[in-house]
Amino acid sequence: MVQLLPSILSADFARLADEVAAAERGGGTVIHVDIMDGHFVPNITIGPPVVKSLRKATKLPLDCHLMIENPDEFIPAFAEAGANWVSVHYEACRHLHRTLQLIEHHGMKPAVVLNPATRVELIRDILPMLHHVLIMSVNPGFGGQEFIPFSLQKIRRLAQLRQEMGLAFKIEVDGGVAHDTVAQVVQAGAELLVAGNAVFGAGQAERDARELLGAARKAAGE
């Protein structure tokens, strides 16, 4: 089953609870929260206090995408704030296995994110630990960027590895997922679809989430 994960990065931050509610009415089932520190990526967004407020505003799982350096230092604070899924960048973790254990020990679902230039094979040995793998289909830092086409090969490769290894982790895709790209993304093997601009960009989150999810389901044959 494909799932839509609205990314609040493109929402109106002054009306966050309403925006999340609209995206949920449109079929969003997990809220994707982009955490940026101005070091790992060239942008700054939000941290645990906003996650804590979101936790009160929705019952949906909160998928926290940490685009930060030294994520270990902040994992306890995200757990305390009510995060459910936590993904860390391969490129930001010196001791990735330890970081994934830390996430799990705090009762959250661990995931690894790969930047466009990072090869899928690099995480082969830790795939059994993961709830999902997030393939970045843009360079992280900003919403509304163009989908990088070779991401599709990475999704296919990861789906192949999953089958070969008999694993059940989910494949998530983030960046430029919109009406013109969603069918290819789903057909390549992804089931967790993050979308920011395509859901919130026009200020019609319910309608636009519904349409995007409809297109994704159609492509998946659901």
- Please enumerate in sequence order all residues whose Cβ is within 8 A of that of 131, keeping only pairs 6 or more positions apart, or say none: 85, 109, 110, 111, 169, 170
Contact 92, 69 (CB under 8 A): yes
Q: Smallest distance, Å, CB 213 to ligand DX5?
A: 14
In total, the chain counts a number of residues equal to: 222
Out of 2, 4, 6, 9, the residue judged to bind ligand DX5 by CB under 6 A? 9
| Binding mask of the shown chain, residues 137 to 176, with x at each position contacting ligand DX5 by CB under 6 A | -x-xxxxxx----------------------------xxx
Residue 81 in the binding site for ligand DX5 (CB under 6 A): no
| Binding mask of the shown chain, residues 93 to 112, with x at each position contacting ligand DX5 by CB under 6 A | --------------------
Out of 34, 37, 172, 208, the residue judged to bind Zn ion by CB under 5 A? 34
Report, as residue numbers or ranges, the catalytic residues.
34, 174
Residue 19 in the binding site for Zn ion (CB under 5 A): no
β-partners of residue 193 are: 4, 173
The conformational region for residue 144 under phi > 0 = left, psi -120 to 50 = alpha, else beta, is left
Q: Smallest distance, Å, CB 75 to Zn ion?
A: 17
At residue 164, φ and ψ (nearest 5 deg) are -55, -40
Out of 37, 172, 174, 208, the residue judged to bind Zn ion by CB under 5 A? 174
What order do you get walking across the sheet with 192-195 strand by strand?
Answer: 3-6, 192-195, 170-174, 132-136, 109-114, 85-89, 62-67, 31-36
User: What residues make contact with ligand DX5 under the rule CB under 6 A?
Assistant: 7, 9-10, 32, 34, 65, 138, 140-145, 174-177, 194-198
